[in-house]
Amino acid sequence: MNPLISIIIPTYNRAHLIGETLDTVSAQTYTNWECIVIDDGSTDATAELLEDYCKKDVRFQYYKRPMIGLKGPSSCRNYGYKMSKGKFVTWFDDDDLMYPSALKDRIELFEINTDVVICKLQYYNFEDAIIIDETNIISDKPIEDYLIGDVTYFVSGPIWKRSFLEKQNYLFDEAISNLDDWDFNLRMLYANPKIKLLNNSLIKYRIHNDSLTKQLKKENFDEIVSECKARLKHLKLLLFKRNINLKNYYKFVCVRSKNYLLRALLSKNDKKYYIYITLLVFQLMSHDFSGIFKAIFGFTSYSMFNKGYIFFKG
């Protein structure tokens, strides 16, 4: 008997998309799976749609996130994990699609000592039906490259062995809304899993206007602050790991923070203070004392006289 794989999908108001996602789950050539959908409080036709799928196929399960839990995909993922029974676990998004062999091709690579098998994803434009790009999962220094986005797994690239996940203090950080998968995958990497990489794209990752990348470009400062929190969290986690070179990470975050701070100053958003502190911390860690002076002078000048944001350019 093939081992059971638990597929956990958080959803919120995606009745117009999730059906297509679930159809690709149904079409998997590997058939011993359970698909657990956790609803984060949808107000559209999600409940009716999922009830239909559950009636047609008992492998689908539908739950609503407990009211005592925090709203957001991380809370739903954690709850879905508690409800799951599979020896192997993978998380998936409610708008992405699996190729028919997405489960089979990864599960066949597991050996006794393998903790996770990871495949690539395609960035897919569904309106034009074209592949825009693919994720990179290959690196000889995965933690350093994952920190700055040169390596990307998302939540759906890996299939994890439950016995490995059970050893972790916690899974998804429910206080993080942006970079939640980045935070999760990095913490799993810190635990030194035995990894196998499948350098094939088995998943279509949907590019659309609701994506977090688009939200950041629209100056959603709640998401920007969430990113800052995640960046600072991992600075603390890695501070005393001497085998990890953080120089590129410091530089990467400084550039992003300066860009975010400039936008916050120009739009007079109160989140500027948190972004400012984040920038100063990473400039201090990278010994960029000239940058610290410019940041302090520019921030003070702009706060008092509405001039000085020029110091955050470049």
Task: Give the pLDDT score at 314.
Answer: 58
> Per mean pLDDT, which range of 11-15, 48-52, 158-162, 295-299 is the poorest?
295-299
Banded model confidence at residue 83, pLDDT cuts 50, 70, 90: very high
Q: What is the pLDDT, as a whole number, of residue 209? A: 57
Determine the residue type at 13. N
Same domain? For 125 and 243 the reply is no
Of 176, 208, 240, which one is at a domain's C-terminal end? 208
Checking if the pLDDT of 133 tops 60, the result is: yes
Q: Of the given ranges (73-77, 126-130, 144-148), which has the lowest mean pLDDT? A: 126-130
168 in the same domain as 56: yes
Q: Are 233 and 84 in the same domain?
A: no
93-112 average pLDDT score: 97
pTM exceeds 0.85: yes
Nearest CA-CA partner of 248 in 153, 151, 144: 144
With a pLDDT cut of 70, the percent of the chain lying above it is 94
pLDDT the model gives residue 225: 93
Q: Are residues 188 and 220 in the same domain?
A: no
Same domain as 178, residue 124: yes
In this model, does residue 214 exceed pLDDT 60?
no
59 and 166 both lie in a single domain: yes
Q: Is the pLDDT of residue 212 over 60?
A: no
Tell me which residue of 196, 177, 193 sits closest to 185, measured CA to CA.
193
**Per-residue pLDDT at 239:** 86
**Residue 210: per-residue pLDDT:** 53
Q: Domain of 293?
A: 213-312
Are both 45 and 82 inside the same structural domain?
yes
Q: Which residue has the higher pLDDT, 299 or 164?
A: 164
- pLDDT given at position 207: 81
How confident is the model over 186-205, as a mean pLDDT?
A: 96
* pLDDT bracket for residue 302 (50, 70, 90): confident
Q: Region 240-247: what's the mean pLDDT?
A: 86
Domain shared by 102 and 240, yes or no? no
Residue where a domain stops, chosen among 185, 208, 231: 208
Is residue 21 located within the same domain as residue 148? yes
DSSP the chain: -PPPEEEEEEESS-TTTHHHHHHHHHT-S---EEEEEEES---SSHHHHHHHHHHH-TTEEEEEPPTTSPSSHHHHHHHHHHH---SEEEE--TT-EE-TTHHHHHHTT--TT--EEEEEEEEEETTTTEEEEE-----SSHHHHHHTTSS--TTTSEEEEHHHHTTSS-SS-TT-SSSHHHHHHHHHHHT---EEEEEEEEEEEEP-TTSHHHHHHTT-HHHHHHHHHHHHHHHHHHTT-TTS--HHHHHHHHHHHHHHHHHHHHTT-TTHHHHHHHHHHHHHHTT-HHHHHHHHHHHHHHHHHS--GGGG--
Give residue 70's pLDDT band: very low, low, confident or very high (50, 70, 90).
confident
Does the pLDDT of residue 308 top 70, yes or no?
Answer: no
pLDDT band at 251 (very low <50, low <70, confident <90, very high): very high
Higher pLDDT, 30 or 263: 30
Number of domains in the chain: 2
- 305 or 3: which leads in pLDDT: 3
**Is the domain of 259 the same as that of 160?**
no
Does one domain contain both 254 and 275? yes
Chain-wide mean pLDDT for the chain? Answer: 92
Show which of 208, 237, 264 is a domain's final residue: 208
- Are 167 and 220 within one domain? no
Report, as an integer, the average pLDDT of 15-31: 97
Is the pLDDT assigned to residue 201 strictly greater than 50? yes
Q: What is the CATH number of the domain that holds 55?
A: 3.90.550.10
Decide if pLDDT at 280 tops 70: yes
In whole angstroms, give the CA distance from residue 189 to residue 185: 6
